[in-house]
């Protein structure tokens, strides 16, 4: 049973918006903070669009959506976050940026407010060290898209109190999510295993051992995966893969986490994946052609 | 595309009934060599030039073992294949079709059509140890076993995270324990010897499982010997 009533989300990008939807949908009063009003406006529009589809698909009634949207507010004034029992940060994946944000939040929030980080690669302990309240900082890594994916990787930092971790855990369950506990380890579970696996698939293409479509077909047919690694990389975007993999490599120095040279060449060529119409495959609309 | 099958020894790819076996003819454009006695079967097949493709079943070995290699220019109408199987699981629907640098496209296409006509999916790859799947997945499985030992998360949490987070049908720990950690050892040991890449060094849990399997086999042998002595 969660004692938390008001959830704050710092950052209104894709992850922040998704987390806010999860919290508001579960009945929590939810406040989204961002320094950019246009970003908040864009997030609100996308959120309303998401719930309009939920009504269209009869997953929610209009009355339910009205209540949910009534729970959800936004602000560019960080002082408003003083009303929150927990603030989940989903800002740029950079330790300095997160430290600056947490220091500002620490100045306005009551001492009992929990801080959670949606980081996928950075150390919770290191993030907590810049928070002014490291015993009340927890890792809560939601999966993309947060509003659809149930899994949340939850990690205590070295100084996180049991009580703070349990409160965040209870909130996660109260939001209808499925928490799993991991150590404060670079990449936690998902990215720790996914990034080197994808890097190996890229190296296989780089070495000319098989075409992307052959590798993806092997993975899907042989192991029953829904997507092959190269299809997934095109969906995620090679620029995003580069960011995450470089952060993971910096934290582990494990050779498999090092980004293959092909990725940088593809990025330089504008072959980022689906979003630019070409990655390991060429795209025209939704149709996919072999690479 | 008509094809004939020459089968000698045990076939790991097609140990039982399958449409591929049913549709074979007495003679054909493509010759499939099944079983683990490839050199002997090739001797019996005789002249290979007349076939669009001669496709031999591989285990962990490379095709070059049977064709020879020279200057990176090797390649003929002879290809290799293996039907992917994970440990004790039944063989999957995937055929890894092995080509060499100078293998003619017509031979690859002919071999592909034979397998696809029997409802199998084909992935073409170069002649490297582990081909596509074992080369890709074994470091991931090893890392999962290692991180379990290091306490990253419980086995259940690791498995559920990879299932829910990435949509994998099964988590690595459950999968390896179900299909045989000792078999994972066999594959990774072979790849470790081939590549010298630390990612393939059999994880501690796989080493233990292999040692345990050997001990159990030894106990079984002793029991059988004792029974025989008692019978005498």
Q: What residues of A act catalytically? A: 120, 141, 153, 191
Taking contacts as CB-CB distances below 8 angstroms, the residues of chain A near B99 are none
Whole-number Å distance between alpha carbons of A274 and A272: 7
- Work out the average pLDDT over A138-146: 94
Return the pLDDT at A144: 86
Q: What burial letters (b/e) apply to A194-210, b meaning 16+ CB within 10 Å?
A: bbbbbbbbbbbbeeebb
The per-residue pLDDT for A288 is 42
- pLDDT at residue B1 in the model: 85
pLDDT in tens, A54-64: 999 999 999 99
Phi–psi pair at A18, nearest 5 degrees: -65, -40
Cα within 13 Å of Cα(A115), Cβ side: 36
Distance from CA of A227 to the nearest CA of B (A): 9
Whether A186 and A179 have beta carbons less than 8 Å apart is answered as no
Residue A286 scores a pLDDT above 70: no
Pairing verdict, β A72-75 and A86-89: unpaired
CATH superfamily of B3-126: NAD(P)-binding Rossmann-like Domain (3.40.50.720)
Cα gap B35→B16, rounded to integer Å? 12
| Tokens describing residue A246 | 């470089």
Whether residue B132 and residue A223 make contact (CB cut-off 8 A), yes or no, is no
Residue B159 has pLDDT above 90, yes or no: yes
Q: What is the pLDDT of residues A86-111, one digit of tens each?
A: 999 999 989 999 999 999 999 999 99
How does pLDDT run across A268-285, given as a tens digit for each residue? Answer: 999 999 999 999 999 986
Q: Quote the pLDDT of residue A285.
A: 64
Cβ–Cβ below 8 Å for B135 and A180: no
Residues B11-62 pLDDT 10s: 999 999 999 999 999 999 999 999 999 999 999 999 999 999 999 999 999 9
What letter does residue A176 receive in the DSSP assignment?
Answer: T
| Residue A197 reports pLDDT greater than 60 | yes
Tell whether domain B133-231 is in CATH 2.40.50.140.
Answer: no
pTM, 2 dp: 0.90
Which of the residue ranges A286-290, B72-76, B148-152, B180-184 would you say has the lowest mean pLDDT? A286-290
**C-alpha to C-alpha distances, B6 to A34, A208, A226, B78, B214, nearest whole angstrom:** 69, 32, 36, 14, 34
Q: What is the mean pLDDT of residues B128-138?
A: 98
Give the tens place of pLDDT for each residue, A16-63.
Answer: 999 999 999 999 999 999 999 999 999 999 999 999 999 999 999 999
A206 shares contact with chain B (CB less than 8 Å): no
Assess whether pLDDT exceeds 60 at residue A289: no
In the prediction, which pLDDT does A287 show? 42
Domain ranges (residues) in chain B = 3-126, 133-231
Least CB-CB distance to A201: which of B126, B128, B136? B136
Residue A191: how many other CB atoms lie within 10 Å: 22
B contact test, residue of A204, A208, A214, A222 with most B CBs within 10 A: A222
Binary contact (B136, A153; C-beta < 8 A)? no
3-state DSSP helix/strand/coil % of chain A, to nearest 5: 50, 15, 35
Write out chain A residues lying below 8 Å of B124, CB-based: 210-211, 214
Q: Quickly count: other Cβ atoms within 10 Å of residue A26's Cβ.
A: 19
Q: What is the pLDDT of residue A2?
A: 79
Return the percentage of chain A with pLDDT > 90, whole number: 92
pLDDT of residue A290: 38
Beta bridge pairs of residue A31: A8, A73
pLDDT for B227 equals 86
Which residues on A lie below 8 Å from B86 (Cβ)? 222-223
Q: From 1.10.10.60, 1.10.1040.10, 3.40.50.300, 4.10.520.10, which CATH number describes the A191-279 domain?
A: 1.10.1040.10
User: What is the residue-wise DSSP string for B66-78?
Assistant: HH---TT----SE
The residues of chain A that CATH labels 1.10.1040.10 are 191-279
Domain with CATH 3.40.50.720 in chain A: 6-181
- Terminal-residue alpha carbon distance, chain A: 51
| pLDDT score of B85 | 95
H or E element in which residue A153 lies: strand A151-156
CA within 13 Å, CB half, B220: 6
Q: How far is A140 from chain B (nearest CA, A)?
A: 13
Cβ atoms of A257 and A245 closer than 8 Å: yes
Q: Each residue of B91-129: pLDDT tens digit?
A: 999 999 999 999 999 999 999 999 999 999 999 999 999
CATH number of A6-181: 3.40.50.720
First to last CA, chain B: 58
pLDDT digits (tens, 9 = 90+) for A241-270: 999 999 999 989 999 999 999 999 999 999
Residue A232 to chain B, least CA–CA distance (Å): 10
Coil/strand/helix, residue A115 = strand
Cα-flanking dihedrals φ and ψ of residue B76, to 5°? -155, -160
Chain B: which residues have CB within 8 Å of chain A? 84, 86, 92-94, 96, 121-126, 128, 132-133, 135-137, 139-140, 143-144, 147, 151-154, 157-158, 160-162, 164-170, 172, 199
What residues form DSSP beta bridges with A114? A86
Residues A184-208: what's their mean pLDDT? Answer: 96
């Amino acid at each position: 049973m969660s004692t938390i009533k008001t959830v704050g989300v710092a950052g209104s990008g894709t992850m922040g918006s998704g987390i806010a939807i999860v919290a508001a949908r579960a009945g929590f009063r939810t406040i989204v903070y961002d320094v950019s009003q246009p970003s908040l406006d864009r997030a609100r529009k996308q959120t309303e669009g998401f719930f309009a589809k939920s009504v269209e698909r009869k997953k929610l009634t209009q009355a339910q959506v009205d209540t949910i949207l009534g729970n959800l507010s936004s602000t560019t004034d960080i002082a408003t976050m003083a009303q929150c029992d927990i603030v989940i940060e989903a800002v740029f994946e950079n330790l300095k940026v997160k430290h600056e944000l947490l220091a500002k939040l620490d100045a306005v929030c009551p001492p009992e407010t929990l801080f959670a980080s949606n980081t996928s690669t950075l150390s919770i302990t290191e993030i907590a060290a810049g928070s002014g309240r490291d015993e009340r900082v927890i890792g809560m890594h939601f999966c993309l898209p947060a509003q659809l994916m149930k899994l949340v990787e939850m990690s205590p930092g070295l100084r996180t109190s049991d009580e703070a971790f349990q409160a965040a855990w209870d909130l996660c369950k109260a939001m209808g999510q499925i928490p799993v506990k991991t150590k404060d380890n670079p990449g936690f579970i998902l990215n720790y295993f996914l990034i080197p696996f994808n890097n190996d698939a890229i190296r296989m293409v780089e070495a000319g051992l098989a075409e992307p479509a052959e590798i993806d077909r092997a993975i899907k047919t042989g192991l029953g995966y829904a997507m092959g690694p190269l299809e997934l990389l095109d969906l995620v975007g090679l620029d995003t893969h580069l960011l995450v993999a470089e952060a993971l490599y910096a934290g582990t120095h494990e050779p498999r986490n090092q980004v293959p040279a092909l990725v940088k060449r593809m990025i330089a060529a504008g072959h980022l994946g689906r979003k630019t119409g070409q990655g390991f495959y060429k795209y025209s609309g939704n149709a996919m052609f072999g690479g | 595309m008509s094809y004939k099958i020459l089968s000698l020894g045990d076939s790991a790819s097609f140990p039982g009934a399958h449409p591929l076996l049913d549709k074979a003819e007495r003679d054909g454009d493509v010759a499939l060599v099944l079983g683990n006695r490839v050199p002997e079967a090739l001797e019996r097949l005789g002249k290979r030039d007349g076939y669009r493709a001669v496709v031999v079943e591989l285990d962990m070995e490379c095709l070059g073992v049977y064709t020879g290699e020279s200057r990176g220019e090797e390649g003929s109408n002879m290809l290799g294949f293996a039907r992917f199987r994970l440990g004790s699981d039944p063989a999957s629907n995937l055929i890894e079709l092995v080509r060499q640098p100078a293998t003619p496209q017509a031979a690859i296409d002919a071999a592909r059509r034979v397998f696809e006509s029997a409802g199998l999916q084909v992935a073409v790859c170069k002649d490297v140890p582990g081909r596509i799947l074992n080369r890709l997945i074994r470091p991931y499985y090893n890392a999962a076993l290692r991180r379990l030992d290091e306490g990253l998360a419980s086995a259940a949490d690791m498995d559920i995270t990879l299932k829910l987070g990435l949509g994998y049908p099964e988590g690595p720990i459950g999968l390896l324990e179900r299909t045989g950690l000792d078999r994972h050892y066999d594959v990774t040991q072979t790849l470790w010897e081939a590549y010298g890449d630390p990612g393939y060094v059999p994880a501690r849990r796989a080493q233990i499982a292999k040692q345990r399997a050997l001990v159990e086999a030894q106990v079984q042998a002793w029991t059988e010997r004792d029974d025989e002595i008692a019978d005498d």
